[in-house]
């Protein structure tokens, strides 16, 4: 089994972290989205500015549309388990 790359103190994920999450996620992680991970943003589930680490346990692939939805639309919540299971809760 391959282990995930080490966290970094930087905001931007390392190349190894990018490869790991793109391989793990394969597509945008928003439910029902099939945009390929190669075109997705590496998103901090807990925002970096709020203390979220740049660690694969806190990163997921989101296409630009769903990344913006998560970031700017009120009421959406995202949580991720240490092994990468993402839960998205809608405002309703």
pTM attached to this predicted model: 0.90
* pLDDT (tens place) for every residue of the chain, 92 residues total: 568 899 999 999 999 999 999 999 999 999 999 999 999 999 999 999 999 999 999 999 999 999 999 999 999 999 998 888 899 999 98
**CB-neighbour burial class of residue 43 (10 A; exposed 0-12, middle 13-18, buried 19+):** buried
Three-class DSSP category at 81: coil
CB 70 within 8 A of CB 89: no
Phi and psi, residue 73, nearest 5°: -85, 125
């Amino acid at each position: 089994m391959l282990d995930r790359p080490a966290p970094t103190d930087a905001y931007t994920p390392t190349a190894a972290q990018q490869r790991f999450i793109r391989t793990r996620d394969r597509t945008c992680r928003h439910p029902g989205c099939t945009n390929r991970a190669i075109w997705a943003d590496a998103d901090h589930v807990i925002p970096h500015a709020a203390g979220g680490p740049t660690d694969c346990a806190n990163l997921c692939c989101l296409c630009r549309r769903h990344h913006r939805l998560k970031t700017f639309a009120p009421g959406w919540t995202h949580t991720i388990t240490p092994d990468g299971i993402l839960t998205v809760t809608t405002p309703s």
